[in-house]
């Protein structure tokens, strides 16, 4: 599938709005992140997933982050459980209700939290639950690539920036004891792993295909933009997996289509917010543009 077909297929992702639908059918997303230091990132990811069109978004965070994230938005369902002594036991019943799970925004690197998240990923693997992994979730993966290697379908989307991608390649080099370390190329983690490498040109790769996306955006790179993207990817991925598209769309392409749609949306939100705010633009300004951009680019006609 070429870039033109990706762009066309993106317009099929959004489920039609209808009176016979019930709450939850258009996507239930779980965001795992939020710590003492970082409360903005999980909020940006979660509210973006919601504004793109998911029906329900749950945030699983540390206790210190719970009240703060709840105060940001009453629309989010917040579970301050990640640092509980029996966190996995309390969280496990929620997993089956979620269509896609996003791991990483504001997660932090507290060893006990990373251990809990590793157990959560193992549960998701056993249930073939689709994942999106960003930020500190990528740090966790780089410590042990086997956590996601050969993950069952539908698979995992990784959303690293250039430095995070370099760390993942470095981890592969160390694992293979490579005499000539690779600094470019695909990760070799299995057929169900899709990578969205963020940068001046977004690079979307799976085991066989690659598509690059540029244009839009601005010279202003504000904090939280990657979280917006991760939240958008999560909703688009849930839709891509749930809803019928054209018969010639390969099921293996659905993760890439979700990534492509999220990149298009994020770049256009950045462009429009920058046109209004210039250097003063922050992530909240970009989030305010989601509605208009979505209506123009993705709303079913």
Q: Is 191 annotated as a binding residue?
A: no
Q: Is 167 annotated as a binding residue?
A: yes
Q: Is 224 annotated as a binding residue?
A: yes
Q: Is 197 annotated as a binding residue?
A: no
Q: Is 202 annotated as a binding residue?
A: yes
CA-nearest of 61, 57, 90, 62 to 74 is 57
Cis peptide before 263 (omega within 30 of 0): no
Q: Is 201 annotated as a binding residue?
A: yes
Structure tokens at 1: 């599938």
Q: Give the CA angle between residues 235, 142, 229 to the nearest 5°.
A: 25
Q: Is 221 annotated as a binding residue?
A: yes
Q: Is 217 annotated as a binding residue?
A: yes
Q: Residue 275: count other Cβ atoms within 10 Å of its Cβ.
A: 11
Quote the CA–CA distance of 7 and 258 in Å, as a whole number.
10
Q: Is 278 annotated as a binding residue?
A: no
Q: Is 225 annotated as a binding residue?
A: yes
DSSP β-bridge partners for residue 79: 60
Q: Is 125 annotated as a binding residue?
A: no
Q: Is 161 annotated as a binding residue?
A: yes
52: three-class secondary structure by DSSP: helix
Q: Give the CA angle between residues 192, 78, 45 to the nearest 5°.
A: 50
Q: Is 200 annotated as a binding residue?
A: yes
109: three-class secondary structure by DSSP: coil
Q: Is 72 annotated as a binding residue?
A: no
Q: Is 163 annotated as a binding residue?
A: yes
Q: Is 227 annotated as a binding residue?
A: yes
Q: Residue 1: count other Cβ atoms within 10 Å of its Cβ.
A: 17
Q: Is 84 annotated as a binding residue?
A: no
Q: Is 173 annotated as a binding residue?
A: no
Quote the CA–CA distance of 207 and 205 in Å, as a whole number.
7
- Point out the annotated binding site for ATP: 198-202, 217-226
- Point out the annotated binding site: 106, 161-167, 198-202, 217-227
- Point out the annotated binding site for (6S)-NADPHX: 106, 161-167, 227
């Amino acid at each position: 599938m070429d870039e033109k077909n990706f762009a066309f297929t993106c317009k099929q992702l959004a489920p039609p709005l209808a009176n016979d639908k019930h709450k939850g059918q258009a996507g239930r997303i779980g965001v795992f992140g939020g710590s003492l230091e970082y409360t903005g990132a999980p909020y940006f990811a979660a509210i973006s997933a919601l504004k793109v069109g998911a029906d329900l978004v749950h945030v699983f965070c540390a206790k210190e982050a719970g009240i703060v994230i709840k105060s940001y938005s009453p629309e989010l369902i917040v579970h301050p459980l990640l640092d509980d002594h029996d966190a996995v036991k309390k969280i496990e019943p929620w997993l089956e209700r979620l269509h896609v799970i996003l791991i990483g925004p504001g997660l932090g690197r507290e060893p006990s939290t990373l251990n809990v998240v590793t157990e959560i990923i193992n549960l998701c693997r056993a249930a073939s639950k689709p994942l999106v992994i960003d930020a500190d979730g990528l740090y966790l993966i780089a410590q042990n690539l086997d956590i996601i290697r050969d993950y069952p379908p539908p698979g995992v989307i990784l959303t690293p920036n250039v430095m995070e991608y370099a760390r993942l390649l470095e981890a592969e080099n160390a694992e293979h004891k490579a005499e000539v370390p690779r600094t470019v190329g695909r990760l070799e983690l299995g057929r169900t792993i899709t990578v969205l490498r963020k940068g001046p040109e977004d690079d979307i790769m799976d085991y066989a295909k690659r598509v690059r996306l540029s244009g839009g955006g601005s010279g202003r790179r504000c904090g939280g933009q990657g979280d917006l993207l991760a939240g958008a990817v999560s909703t688009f991925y849930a839709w891509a997996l749930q809803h019928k598209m054209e018969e010639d769309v390969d099921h293996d392409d659905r993760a890439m289509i979700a990534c492509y749609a999220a990149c298009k949306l994020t770049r256009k939100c950045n462009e429009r917010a920058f046109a209004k705010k210039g250097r003063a633009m922050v992530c909240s300004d970009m989030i305010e543009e989601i509605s208009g951009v979505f209506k123009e680019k993705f709303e079913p006609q």
